[in-house]
Chain A
Amino acid sequence: GAVVSQHPSWVICKSGTSVKIECRSLDFQATTMFWYRQFPKQSLMLMATSNEGSKATYEQGVEKDKFLINHASLTLSTLTVTSAHPEDSSFYICSGPTGPSYEQYFGPGTRLTVT
């Protein structure tokens, strides 16, 4: 399957600062990537669809001004958590591209802790 990487794998930041998470498709060009959020011991919730060369599509209830997504190239999508607060602490996972039967390949995730 496709290889997706994320950087960093974990990050600790102070409340009020911004943090950027990178998601790279290593062996495939991806016009679309997806960002999920997972709270401890909970399921994955789709936050937004990242579209190369255009604006991201956010799911209902997700603040687009807080979670900035940029898909600048066919191999890189970034998620920036702006003015982070402790409640933004979570596990953020990106995915893409979809496989031949629409299976998604997930990155290893980024654990964000806001203090």
Chain B
Amino acid sequence: AQKVTQAQTEISVVEKEDVTLDCVYETRDTTYYLFWYKQPPSGELVFLIRRNSFDEQNEISGRYSWNFQKSTSSFNFTITASQVVDSAVYFCALSGWNTGFQKLVFGTGTRLLVSP
């Protein structure tokens, strides 16, 4: 079975603070992909990043960075110098070889509130 856990239901920060969103996953597949999506108030999901299980390199994209650690089954997401526009719900998701990488299993999401 596959499972994604986002223990943080809601996080509130003040603009310019750094914030880390946690994601822990479970899967029996040895080959899998991990994703982060952003869902702003409009509701449309925005793809942010994907990582395959063989690539543990951390990635940085502007103010966003991701830390993938297979040893702890975690794929955490850090926003540096947060901005009000970062306010959204962020979902971590997993797809595995067992389902042909077609089905996404989502975590419960973390609501990020960035105040001015």
Question: Once the chains are docked, how many angstroms separate the CA of A95 from the CA of B95?
Answer: 14
Given the complex of chains A and B, what is the CA–CA distance between A23 and B35 in angstroms?
A: 22
Confirm or deny: B13 has a beta carbon within 8 angstroms of a beta carbon on chain A: no
CA distance A101 to B95 in the complex (A): 11
- Asked whether any CB of chain A lies closer than 8 Å to the CB of B43, the reply is yes
A54 adjacent to chain B (CB < 8 Å): no
- Residue from B37, B50, B106, B111 within 8 A of A101 (CB atoms): B50
Chain A window 80-112, contacts with chain B (Cβ cutoff 8 Å), 1 for yes, 0 for no: 000000000001010100110111111111010
Task: Specify the main secondary structure of chain A where it touches its partner.
Answer: strand
Residues on A with beta carbons closer than 8 Å to the beta carbon of B45? 44, 93, 95, 106
Residue contact A43 to B91, C-beta cutoff 8 Å? yes
Q: Is A75 an interface residue (CB 8 A)?
A: no
Q: What class of interface size applies to chain B in its complex with A?
A: 20 to 34
Per the 8 Å Cβ criterion, residues 6-62 of B in contact with A are 33, 35, 37, 42-45, 47, 50, 52
B109 contacts A1, C-beta separation under 8 Å? no
Q: Which residues of B sit under 8 angstroms from A13, Cβ to Cβ? A: none
Could you tell me the distance between the alpha carbons of A5 and B81 in the complex, rounded to whole angstroms? 33
- Residues in B neighbouring A45, C-beta threshold 8 A: 106
Q: Known: A101-B52, A102-B101, A103-B35. Contact between A43 and B106, CB under 8 A? A: yes
List the A residue with the shortest CB-CB distance to B107. Answer: A43
26 contacts between A and B (CB under 8 A): A32-B102, A34-B102, A34-B104, A41-B111, A42-B109, A43-B106, A43-B108, A44-B45, A46-B103, A46-B104, A93-B45, A95-B45, A98-B102, A99-B47, A101-B33, A101-B50, A102-B33, A102-B50, A103-B33, A103-B35, A103-B50, A104-B47, A108-B42, A108-B44, A109-B44, A111-B43
